[in-house]
């Protein structure tokens, strides 16, 4: 007879799930490859969505898409609220981004990823009320040191001291957007350098949390869904993520307040995704600092992925060689 505790645990995502999910991100990255540098981000995204959805359908779990391609009417597959998987395994919340960096892919630039994050059912923050969030991400040295409510210069100086680095050696990642003009100016005025991101702030946030990265902090306003996905990775890396919801207009502000959100509240990793059983899986579409992009070498296609799990605190890199003939 199986105990209640054992039965409950068997219905939670286990270590095998991550290795199943990486098959889906590999497939999405491979299918997007023909569109790299072709200038058509929608075609690249469509190919990645089709491939990811097909592979997720074979996974032994009941995945509920909390963060996907949008509402059902606008997204025929991987829409918010869709159930994926074969339904015969653990119940999970999942966040999918078949290509984080569609513009990067279309332009042939670095740092495009195919991403899936997963956690126990009911554990992910609902991002539907407010699309944007002001975020700060860094490594574990920032725990109890940085505070998103303080000026960026203060945070740079505090983190530099905690890391034992000169301020001039600090590199701060931020999306290159008009809304960040003042922020970029303040970072440089503090004496730090910037790493301006054209797109893909998930990769920027994860690189900021990694111990061996050249990026020390990632800051600025980006998507709330990307913040939740990043939080799944940060929990495995032991880093810090802080966020404050940032409504884009009065209508969205009213919607957030009506939904019960405190727009002054600082959200931490545990608020964005509850519990200690989170997964983050990413496969490179184009080359980047986090992982290499898809490469074709003769009859083989090579992919590189990163697999993070918070419960075990493991960081795995998975290199796969795939026969080209199987993808024709």
Q: Does the pLDDT at position 199 exceed 90?
A: no
Distant-in-sequence, close-in-space partners of 184: CB < 8 Å, separation ≥ 6: 174, 194, 196
pLDDT in tens, 276-299: 899 999 999 999 999 999 999 899
- Going by pLDDT thresholds of 50, 70 and 90, the confidence category of residue 8 is very low
Report long-range pairs for 264-269 (Cβ below 8 Å, ≥24 apart).
266/147, 266/148, 266/149, 266/242, 267/125, 267/133, 267/242, 267/243, 268/241, 268/242, 269/231, 269/234, 269/235, 269/240, 269/241
CA 36, CA 103: separation in Å to the nearest integer?
10
- Going by pLDDT thresholds of 50, 70 and 90, the confidence category of residue 4 is very low
Starting at the edge strand that comes first in sequence, how are the strands of the sheet with 217-223 ordered? 193-197, 171-175, 217-223, 132-138, 240-245, 267-268
The reply to whether 166 sits in an annotated binding site is no
Mean pLDDT for all residues in the chain: 92
Averaged over 102-130, what is the pLDDT?
93
The reply to whether 176 sits in an annotated binding site is no
Averaged over 192-216, what is the pLDDT?
93
Q: Does the pLDDT at position 47 exceed 70?
A: yes
Confidence (pLDDT) at 156: 98
Distant-in-sequence, close-in-space partners of 301: CB < 8 Å, separation ≥ 6: 30, 33, 294, 295, 321, 322, 323, 324, 327
The reply to whether 317 sits in an annotated binding site is no
Q: Residue ranges per domain, the chain?
A: 17-123+277-326, 132-272
The reply to whether 179 sits in an annotated binding site is yes
The reply to whether 69 sits in an annotated binding site is yes
The reply to whether 100 sits in an annotated binding site is yes
CA 291, CA 220: separation in Å to the nearest integer?
23
Torsion sign (Cα): 171, 173, 176, 181: negative
Q: Does the pLDDT at position 131 exceed 80?
A: yes
Averaged over 40-48, what is the pLDDT?
95
Q: Does the pLDDT at position 2 exceed 50?
A: no
The reply to whether 293 sits in an annotated binding site is no
The reply to whether 178 sits in an annotated binding site is yes
State the fold for domain 132-272: D-Maltodextrin-Binding Protein; domain 2 (3.40.190)
Distant-in-sequence, close-in-space partners of 74: CB < 8 Å, separation ≥ 6: none
Q: Does the pLDDT at position 254 exceed 50?
A: yes
* pLDDT over 70 percentage in the chain: 95
The reply to whether 151 sits in an annotated binding site is no
Averaged over 205-217, what is the pLDDT?
94
CA atoms within 13 A on the CB side of 224: 22
Q: Does the pLDDT at position 11 exceed 60?
A: no
Give 2: exposed, middle or buried? Use CB within 10 Å, 0-12, 13-18, 19+: exposed
Confidence (pLDDT) at 3: 43
Superfamily of domain 17-123+277-326: Fructose-1,6-Bisphosphatase, subunit A, domain 1 (3.30.540.10)
Task: Output the pTM of the full model.
Answer: 0.90
Q: Does the pLDDT at position 19 exceed 90?
A: no
Confidence (pLDDT) at 326: 87
The reply to whether 212 sits in an annotated binding site is no
- Identical fold for domains 17-123+277-326 and 132-272, yes or no, is no
State phi, psi for 42 to the nearest 5 degrees: -70, -40
Averaged over 268-272, what is the pLDDT?
96
The Cβ of residue 271 has, within 10 Å, a number of other Cβ atoms equal to: 15
The reply to whether 108 sits in an annotated binding site is no
The reply to whether 199 sits in an annotated binding site is yes
Confidence (pLDDT) at 6: 40
């Amino acid at each position: 007879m199986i105990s209640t505790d054992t039965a409950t645990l068997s219905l939670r995502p286990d270590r095998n799930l991550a290795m199943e999910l990486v098959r889906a991100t590999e497939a999405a990255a491979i299918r997007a490859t023909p569109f790299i540098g072709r200038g058509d981000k929608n075609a690249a995204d469509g190919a990645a969505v089709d491939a990811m959805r097909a592979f997720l359908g074979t996974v032994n779990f009941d995945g509920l898409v909390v963060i996907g391609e949008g509402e059902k009417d606008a997204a025929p597959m991987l829409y918010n609220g869709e159930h994926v998987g074969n339904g015969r395994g653990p119940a999970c919340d999942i966040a999918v981004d078949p290509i984080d960096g569609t513009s990067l892919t279309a332009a042939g630039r670095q740092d495009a990823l195919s991403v899936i994050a997963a956690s126990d059912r009911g554990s992910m923050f609902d991002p539907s009320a407010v699309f944007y969030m002001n975020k700060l991400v860094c490594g574990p040295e920032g725990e109890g040191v940085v505070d998103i409510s303080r000026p960026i210069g203060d945070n740079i100086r505090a983190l530099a001291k905690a890391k034992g680095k000169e301020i001039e050696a600090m590199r701060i990642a931020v999306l290159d957007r008009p809304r960040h003009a003042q922020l970029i100016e303040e970072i440089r005025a503090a004496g730090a350098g910037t790493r301006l991101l054209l797109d893909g702030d998930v990769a920027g946030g994860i690189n900021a949390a990694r111990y061996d990265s050249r990026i020390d902090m990632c800051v600025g306003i980006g998507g709330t869904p990307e913040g939740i996905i990043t939080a799944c990775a940060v929990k495995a890396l032991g880093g810090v993520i802080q966020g404050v919801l940032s409504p884009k207009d009065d209508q969205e502000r009213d919607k957030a307040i009506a939904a019960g959100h405190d727009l002054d509240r600082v959200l931490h990793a545990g608020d964005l995704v509850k519990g200690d059983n989170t997964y983050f899986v990413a496969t490179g579409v184009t080359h980047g600092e986090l992982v290499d992009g898809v490469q074709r070498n003769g009859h083989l296609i090579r992919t590189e992925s990163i697999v993070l799990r918070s419960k075990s605190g493991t960081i795995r890199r998975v290199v796969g060689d795939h026969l080209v003939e199987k993808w024709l």
